[in-house]
């Protein structure tokens, strides 16, 4: 995934505009989130990576036998629970998707619905770090669209993460799961670890 990185102050002035115009990452803006939250029952899926992970899986994937070895695995993610004092690590289950390449290693789908409150799940891919340099492994932020769009259940642990950042980062509503992709196409995931925390904080701190 190619990307062009502009002046560093652009991300602080207008993060959503920066990602849409300067970076190849997908971004779900507040306006997009409100539209999606209002229309998801009518199968309106935005092109900017907003989708219901659970509905998508149930509608397009065949049932996977639980007893078959190797069909299930999990990776470590960072979970920002609005009721928690600070984010903490959780194990997120992954399920395979063989539809695109049935004879090759599968793509993996992260089952984040239980962590972010059900079926209306938004997603944004961040392929740059807090210093605006490309990350070797992109971060994927999954969040509850309705809560995020309407500032419901403000996430206090995220607010505490970014209280030292310049300006006034916009409050984040609802829970968030942060995962790490193996590569830019994010067909697989690997463990989030402490080395990713700085860039995760940078994302929330720059979000306006």
6 falls within a domain: no
d(CA 18, CA 57) in angstroms, rounded, equals 31
Q: Is 94 helix (H, G, I), strand (E, B) or coil?
A: strand
Structural domains in the chain (count)? 1
192 falls within a domain: yes
149 falls within a domain: yes
Query: Residue 144: pLDDT above 50?
Result: yes
Nearest to 13 by CA among 132, 147, 161, 124: 132
9 falls within a domain: no
22 falls within a domain: no
3 falls within a domain: no
d(CA 102, CA 121) in angstroms, rounded, equals 27
Give the model's pLDDT for residue 166.
Answer: 72
Bridge partners for 122 per DSSP: 143
More confident residue, 85 or 44: 85
Give the model's pLDDT for residue 97.
Answer: 74
Secondary structure element (H or E) that encloses residue 75, with its range: strand 73-80
Q: Do 147 and 153 touch, CB atoms closer than 8 A? A: yes
5 falls within a domain: no
Number of CB atoms found within 10 A of residue 86's CB: 11
Q: What is the DSSP letter of 131?
A: T
Give the model's pLDDT for residue 162.
Answer: 83
Q: Could you list the residue range(s) of the whole structural domain that residue 81 is in?
A: 27-61+74-206
Determine if the pTM surpasses 0.75. no
d(CA 10, CA 66) in angstroms, rounded, equals 47
11 falls within a domain: no
């Amino acid at each position: 995934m190619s990307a062009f990185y502009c002046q560093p102050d652009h991300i602080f002035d207008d993060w959503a505009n920066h990602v849409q115009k300067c970076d190849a990452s997908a971004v779900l803006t507040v306006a997009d989130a409100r539209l999606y939250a209002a229309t998801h029952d009518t199968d309106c899926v935005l092109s900017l990576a907003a989708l219901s992970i659970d509905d998508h899986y149930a509608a397009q994937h065949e049932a996977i036998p639980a007893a078959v070895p190797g069909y299930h695995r999990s990776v470590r993610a960072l979970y920002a629970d609005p009721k928690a004092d600070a984010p903490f690590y959780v194990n997120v289950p992954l399920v395979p998707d063989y539809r695109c390449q049935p004879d090759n290693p599968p793509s993996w789908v992260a089952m984040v619905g239980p962590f972010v409150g059900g079926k209306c799940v938004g997603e944004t891919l961040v392929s740059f770090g807090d210093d605006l340099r490309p990350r070797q492994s992109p971060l994927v932020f999954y969040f509850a669209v309705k809560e995020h769009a309407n500032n419901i259940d403000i996430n206090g642990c995220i607010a505490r993460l970014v209280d030292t950042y310049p300006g006034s980062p916009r409050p984040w509503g609802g829970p968030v799961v942060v995962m790490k992709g193996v590569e830019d196409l994010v067909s697989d995931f690997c463990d989030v670890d402490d080395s990713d925390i700085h860039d995760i904080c940078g994302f929330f701190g720059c979000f306006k």
